[in-house]
Structure 1
Amino acid sequence: MRAAAARSNPEAAPFVLEAMAEDVLDRLSFIRFEPQRALVIGDWASVLAPALAQAGAIVIQREPGDFDEEAPLADGPFDLIVSLQVLDTVNDLPGALIHARHALSPGGLLMASFLGVGSLPALRGAMMAADGDRPAARIHPQIDTRAGAALLQRAGFSRQVADSNIIRASYRSLRHLVRDLRWQGLTSMLRSRAPSITRAGLKRAEAAFLSSADDQGRVTEIFEIVTLTGWRD
């Protein structure tokens, strides 16, 4: 599993996951929501679950690989369900949201964060350059805020909110970016593997990536974190 592999690497710096977890905590503090029972999925950096437990909540944790969008969530009901870097990788997102709503107690809250469509423009450009006139699917489909809000409404949530924020990180090479994505479990989750990039294609990708480098030879990559928030009446 990608999260387990990342967690086992001592050099991994899960800044995207940490940003998601800290943002969830900020939102809960702002609305003064104090859950008694919480389900946390995907918090392999151990930021969110310990903070909720310290605040007095009973917290059940699950790995991303334990989440089955085709089956009801066990051990409910929950006052709070939080999903980090998970829902954008499931096959049946509407079904997953419906199961999450059913697992909430009345007045319960769902918060789900993942990378949205504005993420990784430098990497996308590099992959397009690598593939030339035969582009391959190398990044799994991603969701924007408009689609996210519609999905929440379709799943029966009330007071649906979908918003996003951006974090930036700079890299001195395409190789360092790809390594960072692997360490953080942010690589593509497509079941069908794209064709391998040729040596010539890799050179084109590296050149395209560095074409937007700053004076210090570093390229700034964008990570757009989309957060879906919905309540169960």
Structure 2
Amino acid sequence: MPAAPTAAAPMNVFDPTALAQRRQRALVLGPETFLLDRVAEDLLDRLGAVKRRFGNAADLGTPTRVLRDALAASGMVETYKAFGPAERADVDVVTDPEILPFAPASLELVVSALALQSVNDLPGALAQIRRALRPDGLLLAGFLGGGTLNELREAFAIAESDTLGGISPRVAPFVDLRDLGGLLQRAGLALPVTDVDRVVVRYGDPLALLHDLRRMGAANPLADRRRAPLLKKTLVRLFEVYAERFADPDGRLRATFEIVWISGWAPHESQQKPLRPGSAKTRLADALRVPEGKLPGEG
């Protein structure tokens, strides 16, 4: 009798060793936090709109203490633990982002800023978060989305094609906003909401952008990246293409960071639910105060 088929393991898009090395290098260089500061401030505003104080809260992978300190000052949470990689000395619990150490129904709030974009199995991580949330618990996260660094991706593709005769993966394939609502629902989260914030940063030259990416720990961590050093001729052509295609009239160069936001709640009986089909008590025509017409072909 043939063996039953098994579910395919998620493809490793990101190299965990490379991710750890890049985060460690960012700490040594001194982190560049302008984008993280913006996301943390926005997350705090969004959480404040909920108008509720949460009990047991967890921060999943946020690269620095910025979110932890902001939440502590806000008074929105009672207890708080930071879960993150081993190279960070200030986390409460060292965590593999693919295998989360959350006990079932143990958390009222999970937040994350600029971390989930490098998880190989995002659907799996969302499902684990859902299991960890108590009924009416909230997940709120902002991370890099599919439109991030489109300019750099295009410039690299042209530069490598012109100088090497082919292209290699240079910029991560970030998740698309259109997919996130379905992922939240598949994970079992209720009232899912997704939206996007596009941040355009301007640089004097592409090298300044590459330096910032290193200090963000965001240099190329892809598993199938080209392992050979970047050739000088490719770098020169990259600079040319970037300046030709993505320069503003004053000569400064654009770099787009797309922040996608997700929120979802562990189901609870108090939450709003859609009406059953056919349960409406008022006709649409009456609500709009217009005559009810007939479709073509109807008697």
Matches within 5 A, 1:161-200: 161-194=193-226, 195-200=228-233
Task: Say which is worse superposed, 62-71 or 137-146, in terms of deviation.
Answer: 62-71
Matches within 5 A, 1:62-211: 62-64=83-85, 66-74=94-102, 77-132=106-161, 133-194=165-226, 195-211=228-244
- Correspondent of 1:61 among 82, 85, 108: 82
Query: Does the CA-based 8 Å contact 2:58-2:82 persist in structure 1?
Result: yes
The C-alpha deviation readout for 1:48-88, integer Å capped at 9, x for no partner, is 11222231521101224644344343366111111222222
Task: Say which is worse superposed, 223-232 or 118-127, in terms of deviation.
Answer: 118-127
Give the TM-score normalised by structure 2. Answer: 0.72
The whole-number CA distance in structure 2 between the counterparts of 1:228 and 1:67 is 21
Query: Does the CA-based 8 Å contact 1:88-1:142 persist in structure 2?
Result: yes
Post-superposition shift, 1:42? 2.6
Listed as ranges, the gaps of 5+ residues in structure 2 are 1-19, 87-93, 268-299
> Structure 1 vs Structure 2: percent identity of aligned residues?
35
- Corresponding residue number in structure 2 for 1:220: 254
> 1 or 2 for the larger relative contact order (CA 8 Å, sep ≥6)?
1
Aligned residues: 232
* Max Rg structure: 2
Listed as ranges, the gaps of 5+ residues in structure 1 are none
The whole-number CA distance in structure 2 between the counterparts of 1:82 and 1:141 is 23
In structure 2, do the counterparts of structure 1 residues 69 and 215 end up closer, same or farther at CA, with 3 Å as the change threshold?
Answer: closer
Q: Which runs of 4+ in 1 moved over 6 A?
A: none
Query: Does the CA-based 8 Å contact 1:131-1:201 persist in structure 2?
Result: yes
**Structure 2 residue identity aligned to 1:58:** T
Query: Does the CA-based 8 Å contact 1:73-1:100 persist in structure 2?
Result: no
Post-superposition shift, 1:3? 3.2
- Corresponding residue number in structure 2 for 1:48: 67
The C-alpha deviation readout for 1:172-221, integer Å capped at 9, x for no partner, is 11111011011012223312332543222212111011113223321021
Task: Say which is worse superposed, 85-94 or 147-156, in terms of deviation.
Answer: 85-94
Give the TM-score normalised by structure 1. Answer: 0.91
